[in-house]
Amino acid sequence: MKGKLLRSNCSLILLALCFCFINTSFAQPYALITNVEGRHTTSLNGKWSYLTDPMQNGVRIKYYLDKELTNKAVYASYNFNAAETLTVPGDWSTQRPELLYYEGTIWYRKKFEYQPREGNRVFLHFGAVNYESTVYLNGEELGKHVGGYTPFNFEITQKLREGENSLVVQADNKRHPEGVPESVFDWWNFGGITRPVTLIETPGTFIRDYAFQLNRSRTNITGRIQLDGDNSNKKLTIEIPELKVKHTVTTDAGGRAQFEIKAKPEYWSPSNPKLYAVNIISETDNVSEEIGFRTIETQGTKVLLNGEEVFLRGANIHAQVYGRSAWSKEDAGVLLGWAKELGCNFLRLAHYPHSEAMIKVAEKMGIMVWEEIPVYWRIDFSNNDTYVNAENQLREIIDRDKNRANIIIWSVANETPRSEARTKFISRLANKAREFDASRLVSAALNGTAQIKPGTWSIEDKLINALDVIGVNQYYGWFGGTPDSLDKMKWQFDYQKPVLMTEFGASAPFGNHGDKKEKYTEECQAYYYEKTIEMIKRIPGLSGTCPWSLAEHRSPLRLMSGIEDGFSRAGLISWNGQRKKAFYVMKKYYDEFISGK
């Protein structure tokens, strides 16, 4: 099957099948290790040699070898040694002008020395590689991964050498009609090793995974811990010193322990983004992480955070900063700083998982998050391999971010054309999201709004039955009509579910001025926002808004010369940080919520 992930060790396959709740037909290289930052790690970030390979010649002449076994291997070694470098993490698209539009294979090589401690295990972890990757260590294939925005790791304990090691990654960002996302999407297809590469060293038996949540009644902290290695009938201690918690559990035959601890923590919220130091201690290992506790649920048309209604003051945002892919804490600080200035307590991360740094910085800043997988536009909904790919990406991001208090919504799709196959595909994903994590809400952003009676608009979609929260994307006044036509527009949602306006917006390059009725001027964009906000205020029971978008982003679909030039100009902020007039219109609306007006 195309995209199937491989393992080289049968025992690892059995371990994952037994203990990891994963789809067996799309097994990842190795069950993900939770909380990479909390482990003993060595960074492999920095300069990597690279070779551009548009004809995918590298497998034939063995670019991944580091030994001069044949003339072809000598040729490959020579080329790599002479190659220039790319910085990892980082996209290749913006590091070299000739690679801006390149879509295909690039080979990366990193040589490193490593001396693990005796009896320990070593794992190789990638934050993300876009889109397909094959990883080789010392000339041996470790496995493959499909999906450009989710993490994966391999165990390499038996494959490391004394002295120098050679790590090679074949990264291929070509688009595929059966891919997730598919061939056409409205953001830049940044290629490469776009997020950190890390060696993780653990004891022979280690704490691989854990999950902590506050129960619905907010009386107990519940969760599970997974021990890896000699893991049956082992004692584990959970400590939360600030709550005076010290709780002991014992693993079952599969190395798994579940727990329920009576506790009354301060709730995480935008106004009080409280995190607690949580320590997990086994006989051979200990891991610490800061974790927040909160509940999220719906009550009729309301979203309740910690039992209280909350209005989600949001914005859409792509993982781009200053025209390149964003991955670091510093990048997150820039983007989230803009969001806080706008007045946001919520962000919709479009249209794929962003970096772990983005999620963690947002959590500390008190920003709630809608996290989405790239089931976008015309996915091949009739293809089972496409579904398996989508489900795998959903599971991987839930595995990574399940302990983040700020994530309140898993989104399983955006703007997908209605059909029976599509509804079945996405409904199945929604049910899987609840299976993987029942503590959060499930949503999708829908389009295809229509008049249900003269002057009154709504959205009718069978997919709504599978969702906890309904996201509505609409651009009336920009695509269709004018801003003035919004004066008479009414909305009616006859669902006992919360509704978010997940997209609305208009485009204008920064500094392009003119009449408010002249498209692509800042004045027209601001006028559109003024009229849209008036319309939004008339929608009964609305639970939140997300303008499109916080900042401009690169897109190969946006090529109008002199206006777009490779960027979506719908941002309230330009790609290089300049605030447009519409930014202040939207900020005024959010400031009214904050001040209680």
Residue 3 has pLDDT above 70, yes or no: no
CA distance 434 to 406: 17
Cα dihedral sign, 121-25-353-294 = negative
More confident residue, 57 or 471: 471
The C-alpha R_g of the chain, in whole angstroms, comes to: 24
pLDDT tier for residue 10 given thresholds of 50, 70 and 90:
very low
Alpha carbons 147 and 112: distance in angstroms, whole number: 26
User: What is the Cα–Cα distance from 418 to 483, expressed in whole angstroms?
Assistant: 28
Half-sphere exposure for 383 (CA within 13 Å, toward CB): 17
How far apart CA 198 and CA 176 sit, in angstroms, is 29
How crowded is residue 175: how many other Cβ atoms within 10 Å of its Cβ?
Answer: 13
Using DSSP's 3-state secondary structure scheme, residue 193 falls into coil
Query: How high is the pLDDT of residue 595?
Result: 80
- Scanning 68-108, the segments in alpha helix (DSSP H) are 71-82
pLDDT of residue 594: 84
Distances (CA, A) of 408 to 365, 404, 544: 15, 9, 13
Strand blocks (E) in 151-275:
152-155, 164-172, 197-202, 206-214, 220-228, 235-240, 245-250, 256-262
Residue 62 has pLDDT above 90, yes or no: no
Cβ neighbours of residue 588 closer than 8 Å, sequence gap 6 or more:
none
CA distance 580 to 125: 40
For tokens 């994590």, what's the residue? Answer: 437
**Cα–Cα distances in angstroms (integers) from residue 418 to residues 167, 309, 363, 379, in the given order:** 44, 31, 34, 11
- Predicted model pTM: 0.93
Cα–Cα dist 75/66, whole Å: 11
Mean pLDDT calculated for residue range 331-359: 98
Label residue 458 exposed, middle or buried (CB < 10 Å: 0-12, 13-18, 19+). Answer: middle
Tokens matching residue 199: 């060696």
The answer to whether the beta carbons of residues 418 and 453 sit under 8 Å apart is no
In the chain, the amino acid numbered 423 is T
Element (H, E) at 13: helix 10-19
Give the model's confidence band at 192: pLDDT under 50 very low, under 70 low, under 90 confident, else very high: very high
Token output for 99: 């690679």
Is a pLDDT exceeding 70 seen at residue 305? Answer: yes
Tell me, yes or no, if the two domains 10-200 and 298-595 fold the same way.
no
Buried b (16+ CB within 10 A) or exposed e, 57-92: ebeebbbbbbeeeeeebeebbebbeebeebebbbbb
**The two three-digit tokens of residue 110, written as one number:** 């990193």
Which residues are within 8 A (CB) of 325 and not within 5 positions of it... i.e. 6 or more apart? 90, 91, 93, 94, 188, 190, 194, 319
Q: Are strands 85-88 and 46-53 parallel, antiparallel or unpaired?
A: antiparallel
| Band of residue 267 on the pLDDT scale cut at 50, 70, 90 | very high
Q: Show the tokens assigned to 160.
A: 């490391």
Average confidence (pLDDT) over 540-569: 97
Say if residues 41 and 79 touch (Cβ distance below 8 Å): no
* Helix/strand/coil for 19: helix
Q: Provide the token pair at 340.
A: 């806080």
Domain boundaries, the chain: 10-200, 298-595
Instruction: Assign 29 a pLDDT band (cuts: 50, 70, 90).
Output: low
* Alpha-carbon distances, residue 515 vs 167, 512, 526 (angstroms): 57, 10, 11
Task: With a cut of 90, say whether residue 597 has pLDDT above it.
Answer: no
CATH code assigned to 298-595? 3.20.20.80
pLDDT in tens, 90-114: 999 999 999 999 999 999 999 999 9
Q: What architecture is the 10-200 domain classified under in CATH?
A: Sandwich (2.60)
Residue 5 predicted with pLDDT over 50: no
In angstroms, rounded to a whole number, what is the distance separating the alpha carbons of residues 445 and 328?
27
Work out the burial of residue 216: count CB atoms within 10 Å of its CB; fewer than 13 is exposed, 13-18 middle, 19 or more buried.
middle
Range in 19-33, 229-243, 400-414, 493-507 with the lowest mean pLDDT: 19-33
Where does 36-131 show beta strands of DSSP type E?
40-43, 46-53, 85-88, 105-113, 121-126
468, amino acid identity: D
Alpha-carbon gap, residue 493 to 503, rounded angstroms: 16
Beta-ladder partners of 124: 154, 199
Q: What is the pLDDT of residue 593?
A: 86
Strand-pair partners of 125 = 153, 198
Closest by CA position to 462, among listed 479, 448, 452, 442: 448
Q: What pLDDT, on the 0 to 100 scale, is given for residue 20?
A: 37
Cα 499 to chain center, whole Å?
A: 22
The whole-number pLDDT of residue 18 equals: 34
Lowest mean pLDDT among 65-74, 162-171, 212-221, 344-353: 65-74
- The position carrying tokens 């130091």 is 277
Higher pLDDT, 18 or 517: 517
Residue type, 352: Y
CB 503 within 8 A of CB 546: yes
pLDDT at residue 77 greater than cutoff 80: no
Mean pLDDT, the chain, as a whole number? Answer: 93
